[in-house]
Structure 1
Amino acid sequence: MKILHISDTHGCHRRLHNLPQADIVVHSGDFTMNGSEQEALDFMNWFCDLPCPQKIFICGNHDDCLYGATIDGLDGNVHYLCNSGVEIEGLKFYGVPMFMGDCISDRQIKHYANIPDDTDILITHTPPFGILDFDDNINYGSEELLGRISVVQPRLHLFGHIHAQYGMTILNGITFSNGAVMNADYTNFRKPSLIEI
């Protein structure tokens, strides 16, 4: 199975052209810049139209307009994960968004604690602490998320958020992908990651 991983497109998704073919495309959050409903609707229309058999997305810290929202009317092959999961071709995907209202309380830590033990592919916006999360002399990742990953041991962890750390690494048998395709100054896109699992 080929997974196309993108993140942090910040309202510029329509500038992405010639995306590689994949079985599943995953967007791990920050598809808007200002968090407006109009931006979110434009993204969802674009995302639904992508020529990919299955599509999954979660929200990032810029996508606050969807906090607490129920999204109806998506195509059957488009999955919005919000502390929830979906099984596709025997692989269990689970998504944890990054809403600021959760981050300033203990709710985000609880969401990480609730990641199911049988998760194959974890999707978050936040990186785990110490893994593709370093910028401005700070590790921005979550220690609680890292701790839960060490228990769950997913095959793949897809995230974004830290633009300067775009890339992939493999640690302890887990593939970690920071899919922040837009560069740090929001001017250009990097080539999206295509991961075979």
Structure 2
Amino acid sequence: MKIVFISDTHGRHEDVKLPQGNVLIHAGDVSRTGKSVEVEAFLKWYSNQPHKYKILIAGNHDWYFESNSKIMIDSRMPDNIIYLNDSGCEIEGVRFWGSPIQPEFGNWAFNRKRGEDIKAHWDLIPLKTDVLITHGPPFGILDKTMRNDLVGCEELLKKVNQIKPKIHVFGHIHEAYGVVEKNGVKFINASLLNHKYYYTNDPVVVDFEIGKGFWLRFKRIIATVFELIKNV
């Protein structure tokens, strides 16, 4: 399965040159101000992309998705786009989970206070998650701002270390674009725009071996069994 990752297009989607792939994932901030006209233009473009599966989450600029009801959003969402909001889907045996939530970062959409408030969202992420999609990064991983501040979420990092998805993709911090692997997890900051909102970065493409989803779940089960035996 070839997965194409993008994030933070902020209305510049027409400039994006997308590689071919089976699954296209956008990790939020499709707009600049979250107005319906911006979002609808993006959805039309996204829907027309040739990738068989298209997954989308919102970001902190995407007020449209926070201010409108689920019924309204579903009525405007094209049938060939999978919109995730603290929810998941399974494609050809690979389990995806997506959330737009990030720690308070200015007066934006989907902000939550650090600690128990935001942890409640991460507690929803299933143990059996192969590809985790969040708008914001975990703490200390591709989350450094131009001021050298680390602004990722500590509680999210704890959850990722617990479930160990094969891939964790996010955006939000444009200047931290890149890919890094730690403890068996491939972390991807897929922001396409730089900190000045210029389109400078390429989509990230990953060849995901579908069989890995099964083996990852099997290993987690075995590890859980051993842990239970140790505690008996």
Normalised by the length of structure 1, the TM-score is: 0.94
Letter in 2 for 1:151: Q
Q: Distance in 1 between matches of 2:113 and 2:34?
A: 18
Q: Deviations over 1:58-116 (max 9, x none)?
A: 01100022115322254443100000000001000000113735414854321112111
- C-alpha distance 107-40 of structure 1, shift in aligned 2 (>3 A): farther
Match of 2:74 in 1: 72
Query: Greater strand percent: which structure?
Result: 1
Q: Distance in 2 between matches of 1:188 and 1:157?
A: 22
Q: Distance in 1 between matches of 2:64 and 2:78?
A: 21
Letter in 2 for 1:172: N
Match of 1:56 in 2: 55
Does residue 189 of structure 1 match 2:200? yes
Match of 1:132 in 2: 142
Identical aligned residues as a percent: 41
Q: Which residue of 104, 109, 114 maps to 1:100?
A: 109
Q: Distance in 2 between matches of 1:58 and 1:189?
A: 22
Match of 1:178 in 2: 189
Unaligned runs of 5+ in 2: 102-107, 209-232
Q: Deviations over 1:26-49 (max 9, x none)?
A: 000001001111111111111111
SS in 2 for 1:169: strand
Q: Distance in 2 between matches of 1:91 and 1:48?
A: 21
Q: Distance in 2 between matches of 1:86 and 1:184?
A: 31
Report the RMSD for the aligned CA atoms in angstroms: 1.5
Tell me if structure 1 keeps the 8 A contact 2:62–2:109.
no
Q: Tell me which stretches of 4 or more aligned residues in structure 1 moved more than 3 Å.
A: 73-77, 99-102, 104-107
The structure with the largest alpha-carbon Rg is 2
Q: Deviations over 1:137-162 (max 9, x none)?
A: 21010000000011111010010011
Letter in 2 for 1:77: N
Q: Distance in 1 between matches of 2:180 and 2:10?
A: 24
Match of 1:27 in 2: 26
Letter in 2 for 1:134: K
Q: Distance in 1 between matches of 2:202 and 2:111?
A: 31
- C-alpha distance 165-101 of structure 1, shift in aligned 2 (>3 A): closer
Query: Greater helix percent: which structure?
Result: 2
Q: Distance in 2 between matches of 1:188 and 1:87?
A: 31
Unaligned runs of 5+ in 1: none
Q: Which residue of 142, 165, 169 maps to 2:180?
A: 169
Letter in 1 for 2:100: P
Tell me if structure 1 keeps the 8 A contact 2:23–2:52.
yes
Normalised by the length of structure 2, the TM-score is: 0.80
- C-alpha distance 4-41 of structure 1, shift in aligned 2 (>3 A): same
Q: Distance in 1 between matches of 2:206 and 2:10?
A: 22
Q: Which residue of 148, 169, 177 maps to 1:158?
A: 169
Letter in 2 for 1:126: G
Instruction: Count how many residue pairs are aligned between Structure 1 and Structure 2.
Output: 196
Cα deviation for residue 15 of structure 1 reads 1.3
Cα deviation for residue 196 of structure 1 reads 1.1
